Amino acid sequence: MKLLNRVKWRPNWKTKWFLSILCGVLLVILILFGTSYMYLIQKLTAANEKTSLMSFQETENGLKGMMKNAEYYLSQFVNNELAWEYSANTYKTTVEKSVAVQEIVQKFDQMMYADTNIYGFAILSGNGRSVVSTTEKKSRTGVMEIDEKTSAVLEKCKESYPFVNWISGESLDVGKTETFYCMVNRPVLLGIVALGEAKETEGDSYLCVALDERKVSQSYGMVSYNGSRAVLVDENGRIISSTDPDYLETVYRPREEEQNIEYDLSYHNWKLVNMIPKDEYLREARGIKKTGFLLGGIASLAVLFFCLIWNRKYTKPIQILMDQMEMVGKEQLDIENPEKVGWPELDHLNEEFYHTVQKLKSYISRLQTAEQEKAREELLALQYQINPHFLYNSLNSIRWMAMMTNNTKVADSLVILCKVIMPILRNPSFTWKLSDELDFLENYIKMMRIRYGNEMEYHLQCDDGIQDEDFPRFIIQPVMENCFVHGSSSAEARHIYLRIRKTERFAIEVQNTGSFLEAEKVAEVNRKIAEGTPDGESIGLCNIRKRLNLLYGEKGDIWLESSPERGVLVYICF
């Protein structure tokens, strides 16, 4: 067991390549299938909602018409003397009362025959006297006990006089022995309207109409499909009508397992709801899901088959390339020209690598030869070091003879000339310290002032702490020479300002106040510097540009600016 824990399986590059291709294809299939599946579900949900809302819009007017017809019959009976006489209870004899009740029942039956959606009519007084008639040929008269629940409903109807209030039959708690029970012994929608506004409760009377709940649910039942249930919800959230009797008089609560499509009616603050079980309308989607998994499995097997076929054509030439690269990494450049065993592109890559290694071998051979030649040249350079000493000793001899003849100006000039020449001859490197460059410039300017006169004033501004920085040799000298050669010949003193700064790189500014160039001339000189095509006047500046490019690449640059106020300015950056 310990041995198994120590040995960890590490897939090689071939296995990684195979698994990456397989996983990539599976991921693409999964994303495409998942996106298509979610899109299908979204479309099915939207289609259900669109269909239900269109059906609700069609049934809304039918349901409204059913209730309006019932309200119309109530309004007719409100204007009938029978209703008011029964409400006033001014009958002189029992026979007269019985005849009136029979006439009321007969009127109720006539209205029910005229509208088959109506289940029954009733008239109810505040003291509990009632006459009820239904389509089931059940008519009943008597006195019922009005409890608090029923009294609250009737009081609300009285407050909304002369409008009809619609409630469910279950909203009234009527016992089976009560007269009014035959009106609500089955699911109905009750429309109740008060007869006048009596001050005392006993003087109140109400007309009631009952709509058969089955007829009501049939008016919007066309919305139900795929096992869905359509319900009518009142303003209190209770289901007062439903295509499924089990939902009646329950509180409507949306459920996650159903798609609940709600449609607000334009009356009574009611709404129609179609509750569609998701399992029903997603049945087709689940079938597509299974088909998708099957196709994904087939596609994976096909990818596996083609990967196995292509593996030889792809991996073998890459393995040859890896073996040759490993030999080159071990400095074994004697590799063989590989045979062609795979895709033409990979075989071409192996062949190119082979030729590159051969070129590298040739380059190393030439480099070794160049190193040997360089060693011989260094020996010659050591041999030629005597030449600067001979020149230096010769200049000192001439200076000594000048002093013997009291010619101090010539002697001083020779001293300065020696200081200028010796750094050139003694140090063969391309860079030195900035302090060495500044010492050389100071001696060079002294020499140039002896040659051209003392009208040039030299000013140096250099940041502190950069004197020991590496600096390219003689990079500023050509610019200084141009200041003397191409400067103004006016009698006024001219000034040369040398400003040296460094942040991330050196920034050098040389200003000659005694000269000015036109814009066209400045542009021409800058163009020649950039193109590397010097003439007699810009050869020194072009030389600086080439040296900067050799030492610092694209970071090195030089350009000119000129204005009458400031003269000619040369900027050097590296």
List, for residues 261-310, the tens digit of each pLDDT value. 889 988 888 999 998 888 777 776 666 667 777 777 777 777 777 777 66
Q: How far apart are CA 551 and CA 474, in angstroms?
A: 13
Give 225's DSSP letter: -
By DSSP bridging, strand 239-242 and strand 229-233 are antiparallel
Q: How far apart are CA 161 and CA 155, in angstroms?
A: 10
Spatial contact of 320 and 343, defined as CB atoms under 8 Å apart: no
Whether 201 has a pLDDT exceeding 60, the answer reads no
| Angle in degrees, CA 289, 295, 299, rounded to 5 | 140
User: How does pLDDT run across 121-170, given as a tens digit for each residue?
Assistant: 999 887 888 889 998 877 888 888 877 888 888 888 888 888 888 888 88
pLDDT of residue 394: 47
pLDDT of residue 406: 63
pLDDT of residue 573: 93
User: Worst-scoring range by mean pLDDT, 13-27, 113-127, 264-278?
Assistant: 13-27
Q: b/e per residue, 160-197, with b = 16+ CB within 10 A?
A: eeeebbbbbbebbebeeebbbbbbbeebbbbbbbbbee
pLDDT of residue 379: 44
pLDDT of residue 509: 95
Give 339's DSSP letter: P
Spatial contact of 446 and 488, defined as CB atoms under 8 Å apart: no
Mean of the pLDDT values across residues 328-335?
77
Q: How far apart are CA 474 and CA 440, in angstroms?
A: 8
User: Worst-scoring range by mean pLDDT, 289-293, 408-412, 532-536?
Assistant: 408-412
Q: What is the CATH number of domain 13-281?
A: 3.30.450.20
Q: Would you call 24 exposed, middle or buried from its count of C-beta atoms within 10 A (0-12, 13-18, 19+)?
A: exposed
The tokens for 61 are 């007017």
pLDDT of residue 389: 45
Spatial contact of 139 and 132, defined as CB atoms under 8 Å apart: yes
**CATH superfamily to which 457-573 belongs:** Histidine kinase-like ATPase, C-terminal domain (3.30.565.10)
Q: Would you call 353 exposed, middle or buried from its count of C-beta atoms within 10 A (0-12, 13-18, 19+)?
A: middle
DSSP result, 57-80:
HHHHHHHHHHHHHHHHHHHHHHTS
DSSP result, 151-206:
HHHHHHHHHTTTSPEEEEGGGS---TTSTTHHHHSS-EEEEEEESS--SSGGG-EE
Residue ranges covered by each domain of the chain: 13-281, 285-381, 457-573
3-state secondary structure 345-367: HHHHHHHHHHHHHHHHHHHHHHH
pTM greater than 0.85 (yes/no): no
Task: Name the band, by pLDDT with cuts 50, 70 and 90, for residue 380.
Answer: very low
pLDDT of residue 220: 86
DSSP result, 276-328:
EEHHHHTHHHHHHHHHHHHHHHHHHHHHHHHHHHHHHHHHHHHHHHHHHHHHH
Q: b/e per residue, 40-64, with b = 16+ CB within 10 A?
A: ebeebbeebbeebbebbeebbeebe
Q: How far apart are CA 473 and CA 504, in angstroms?
A: 20
Q: How far apart are CA 203 and CA 16, in angstroms?
A: 94
Task: Name the band, by pLDDT with cuts 50, 70 and 90, for residue 3.
Answer: very low
pLDDT of residue 384: 43
Residue that wins the pLDDT comparison between 447 and 546: 546
Task: Name the band, by pLDDT with cuts 50, 70 and 90, for residue 385.
Answer: very low
